[in-house]
Structure 1
Amino acid sequence: MEVGEVGRARAIQVQGMLAVLRHVHAHPATTRARLARDLGLSRGSAAEIIARLHALRLVAESGAEPTGARGRPTRVVHRHDRGPVVAVAELSHESWGVAIAHLGGELCPVRRERHDRPGAPEDVLARMGAALREVQAAYGTRLRAVGIALPGTVSDGRLVAAATLGWRDVDIARGLGIPFSMPVITGNDATMAGVAEARRGSAADAGVALFLTVEVGIGGVLLERGRAATGATGAGGEFGHMPFGDPALPCPCGAHGCWDLEVDGRALARYLEEPPPAAPRTAAGAVLHRARTGDAAARAALDRVAGNLGRGVAGLVNALDPQVVTLSGLAVVIADLAGPAVRAAYLAGLMGFRRRTPPPLVPARFPDDGSMRGAAELAFDAVLSEAGLDEWRRDARDAAG
């Protein structure tokens, strides 16, 4: 066989292995028959690829549950117990966590700690980095990538600004002290949560989806076929800093009139003529509880925030044309408690032709750990690549001597 033909044959083999791996990742515990059907493979080709992947300890097979149907029972293809893993870390305005994710998306928490939101990031990042190094020590070469979800604007691997933490221009990889050479994917937490919803959650069937979450301010992302549209530097999706609010109000981001200031605990406190809350998320929860239990003033404040939320969503739908809008965080609570106000403002803000079939507003499937799940998906994108597969095979050869 000529050199060029050898190269082409190898490329076809690699692409076949990656196609099977990605299918197993997207469909954990898939059957061999379904895998072959979905990928357009013959039974023989599927069996050959699976055997190669099994030899590399990437996938394994087991017997399927009996169905009573005639014919040879199919086999179930799933992750190998000694296969690759990725580490994921999540930083929020009040805590941080580290977990391990396996092929197929299974998430296994490792550690979760609260922090006191210090102005300097060194202590928090050092503790997160120590937890990641413990994971590396435990998993060795099985650890193939790291995904990190951050509560602020992220660009080119740096946390440009996290207003709730008081952090600016932080080199995350350096702060974590990550010594190992492997892909480190950093991103905004809302963006990563949106990825989880688009790939495995409430927007999994949508080609174009909009994800929005309210915590302290509002974050989100537009997703096309499970991939986040984050712009030239990775800082796209800062919907909370669109000028949908009062232009007289300064935002910690440096702009005025940001939507952030109209949809969270700061807005609720302002409408109630209360002092700005030190902990907007906690304060919002308290006001929403009062509204739920019949407090008229809290209810009026909630309805104003609900209208602000609905109008802003309408503006984004008009501009971005998603098939579905997935809501998370306080946005779900607001929509539950003040659904008519949200929907009325949403429909009123839509262009006329959109009102006939407006994109539905649906709650997120992963309201608690979406950002970690999304970080794992993006980290596995690096693992399930030609470079990632080549590196795994090289390490397997080296381990075999």
Structure 2
Amino acid sequence: MEPMTAHSARALRSQGALAMLRHVHARPSAKRADAARALGLSSGSATEITSRLKAARLLDEEASPLTGGRGRPSPALVPHRDGPLVCVVDVSHERWRAACVELGGRVVAQEAGGHSGTPDVLRTLGHHVSALRVRYGHRLRAVSACVAGTVSATTVVQASGMGWRDVDLEPLRPPGIPLLVGNDASLAGLAEARRGAGAGARVVLHLTVEVGVGGILVVDGRPVDGATGAGGEFGHMPFGDPSLRCPCGARGCWDLEVDGRAMARALGRPAPRDPRTAAGHVIAAAASDPAARSAVEAAAHALGRGIGALANALDPGVVTISGLATGLAATAPAALETGYSAGLMRYRRAAPPPILPSTLGPQGPLTGAADAAFDLLLTEEGLAAWSRA
């Protein structure tokens, strides 16, 4: 066996530090002893790695509360008070949020407001990001934006709910800091697979209904987001009426069968200006209004049928749902189940992937955007850059 070189020893130490950081990020306040067991480290190695991470201002330790058992409890591993932060910008159809998030996912600062739907909101957000950079200095390591629209690299190709076309989010990038941009539903799915209802499953399909259907397939904790980052636009699969043209330019999109636009058509009403709010009103009325209940059941059936088709094609272990999809499932569970079963191949019907409601709710996109940014930072390159800061 060849002797270990200084370079290979450094590489092993680096990998051990990365593994420890990733473990703490995924499991905030993990005990040092538990982390050592999970990572296959000796107690001495875990202590040595923790000491280096403390010296590097990445982790710290807090005394664990006494349990009454024998011995002293292992200390909990927590983010260093001077450690790295990421800035998350969340732009939905009518609201925005700008937050700083530390290792482990805790929000340490947040501001929010409304907007008119025009790209002018980027100017406001750019000011907030710049202020956070001034406040936290070199600790701010990346900006991660999540947007209710189709994304390619740092450009929002289309966001029909806001009327955006080819809007570049570069104004959100402070000098010298990476900018990541993702679809809000896809990032919510990433968070749901890692920290929410899909945690523990190897293959998770996440779907959300807001204005249309978005989502992502997550395999081994990694999103399958395509060559340009625009993967997960499930709402534009032709599961609907081909006579209907979608704002995206295609015909027969699934989007048009499951949200407030579909319910308005079923009720003989004009297309709503705000499909999400309109859908919420119809779902709320379904308990006492037969026409509203029928509209909700039709949308739930269409949602279930599409989920069945995706289950056939993608073979997830679990399906998680959020947004208006949870309201459809709760209000018309039989219609959803009937549509789901009808869309599944026969051999899948005996044990179909379970459909589970989100446990993260509205925090899903922000949580996923923060995780995407820390994925960039928790690398050998990211740690090397931090050590030079």
- TM bin (shorter chain): over 0.9
Aligned to 2:210: 215
Aligned to 2:175: 180
| 1:174-323 mapped onto 2 (5 Å cutoff) | 175-176=171-172, 178-292=173-287, 294-323=288-317
d(CA) in 1 for partners of 2:196, 2:272: 33
1:359 aligns with 2:353: yes
What is the deviation of 1:73? 3.0
Aligned to 1:150: 147
Partner SS, residue 276 of structure 1: coil
d(CA) in 1 for partners of 2:108, 2:300: 35
What is the deviation of 1:83? 0.9
Counterpart contact for 1:183–1:382, Cα < 8 Å = no
1:384 aligns with 2:381: no
Q: Residues 109 and 270 of structure 1: is their aligned pair in 2 closer, same or farther, counting only changes over 3 Å?
A: farther
Partner SS, residue 285 of structure 2: helix
Report the residue type matching 2:295 in the other structure: A
Q: Find 2:324's aligned residue among 327, 330, 334.
A: 330
Report the residue type matching 2:9 in the other structure: A
d(CA) in 2 for partners of 1:72, 1:237: 48
Aligned to 1:62: 62
- Could you tell which deviates more after superposition, 63-72 or 141-150? 63-72
Aligned length: 388
d(CA) in 2 for partners of 1:366, 1:113: 21
Aligned to 1:12: 12
Same amino acid, percent of matched pairs: 53
Partner SS, residue 30 of structure 1: coil
Report the residue type matching 2:306 in the other structure: G
Listed as ranges, the gaps of 5+ residues in structure 2 are none
d(CA) in 2 for partners of 1:76, 1:237: 37
Per-residue Cα deviation, 1:135-173 (whole angstroms, up to 9, x for no partner): 111111111111100111111221111111111111111
1:170 aligns with 2:164: no
d(CA) in 1 for partners of 2:6, 2:177: 29
d(CA) in 2 for partners of 1:278, 1:52: 55
Q: TM-score, normalised by structure 2?
A: 0.97
d(CA) in 2 for partners of 1:288, 1:263: 12
Partner SS, residue 87 of structure 1: strand
- Could you tell which deviates more after superposition, 78-87 or 258-267? 78-87
Q: TM-score, normalised by structure 1?
A: 0.94
Per-residue Cα deviation, 1:110-144 (whole angstroms, up to 9, x for no partner): 211111113xx1x2101011111111111111111
What is the deviation of 1:6? 2.0
Query: What is the Cα-based RMSD across aligned positions, in Å?
Result: 1.4
Counterpart contact for 1:220–1:238, Cα < 8 Å = yes
d(CA) in 2 for partners of 1:336, 1:229: 28
What is the deviation of 1:69? 2.1
Report the residue type matching 2:162 in the other structure: L
- Could you tell which deviates more after superposition, 180-189 or 309-318? 180-189
What is the deviation of 1:79? 1.1
Partner SS, residue 227 of structure 2: coil
Partner SS, residue 289 of structure 1: helix
d(CA) in 2 for partners of 1:218, 1:171: 23
d(CA) in 1 for partners of 2:79, 2:124: 31
Partner SS, residue 286 of structure 2: helix
Partner SS, residue 362 of structure 2: coil
d(CA) in 1 for partners of 2:143, 2:117: 23
Counterpart contact for 1:194–1:221, Cα < 8 Å = yes
Listed as ranges, the gaps of 5+ residues in structure 1 are 396-401
Counterpart contact for 1:62–1:77, Cα < 8 Å = yes
What is the deviation of 1:109? 4.8
d(CA) in 2 for partners of 1:108, 1:296: 46
What is the deviation of 1:275? 0.8
Report the residue type matching 1:186 in the other structure: V
What is the deviation of 1:235? 0.8
Partner SS, residue 296 of structure 2: helix
d(CA) in 2 for partners of 1:187, 1:86: 15
